[in-house]
Amino acid sequence: MEERIKLTNGYRWFRWVFVFIGSFAIIGLLSGDYLVNNSIGLVICILLFYLFNKSRRIFFDSRNIYIVHGNHEKEIPLRTVKSLKRSRGKVNSQRFWIVAYEGDGAQEKKFRFFSNPFDSTIKQFKQAIKEHNAGVVIWDHPFFNH
């Protein structure tokens, strides 16, 4: 099995911070002080832990893209990718990538992801796509590649 390269920013580890903070809320609940504040804090920590635990992770190797949600994994062959484009809009002053691929029944499906701007994994991803699909459209800038 080939080594998978992580394409998205990794923030899933952050869920363990909420376990640490939630443990203080549990201690506060057991001591009987500030019941409302500690119970609200505990509920918020549980919800944030759940959201970070279910966050989507995207990996790729020389043949496939892997989208992982919790324990569920979806494989997308690189030969089915039609385009890789930068978004026109920004989130937190960063543009995201939009990947369009041919899904089930020749339907075009898309997924979006943020990549680390200081990492070379997006260059490796572009090369892997070009190797499998010579007709793929890759736009590095949302306005000047049309």
Please state the three-class secondary structure of 97-111 as a single string: EEEEEECHHHCEEEE
Residues 24 and 74 in one domain: no
Residues 132 and 61 in one domain: yes
Domain, as residue range, for 18: 12-53
CB atoms within 10 A of CB 8: 19
Q: Is 146 domain-assigned?
A: no
Residues 44 and 62 in one domain: no
d(CA 13, CA 46) in angstroms, rounded, equals: 15
Residues 49 and 69 in one domain: no
In total, how many domains does the chain have? 2
Are 122 and 99 within 8 A, CB to CB? no
Q: Is 119 domain-assigned?
A: yes
H or E segment and range at residue 121: helix 121-132
pLDDT in tens, the chain (146 residues): 578 888 876 666 777 788 888 888 888 888 877 888 888 888 888 888 887 777 788 899 989 999 988 788 899 999 999 999 988 877 777 788 899 999 877 789 998 888 877 778 888 999 999 998 888 998 887 676 55
Q: Is 36 domain-assigned?
A: yes
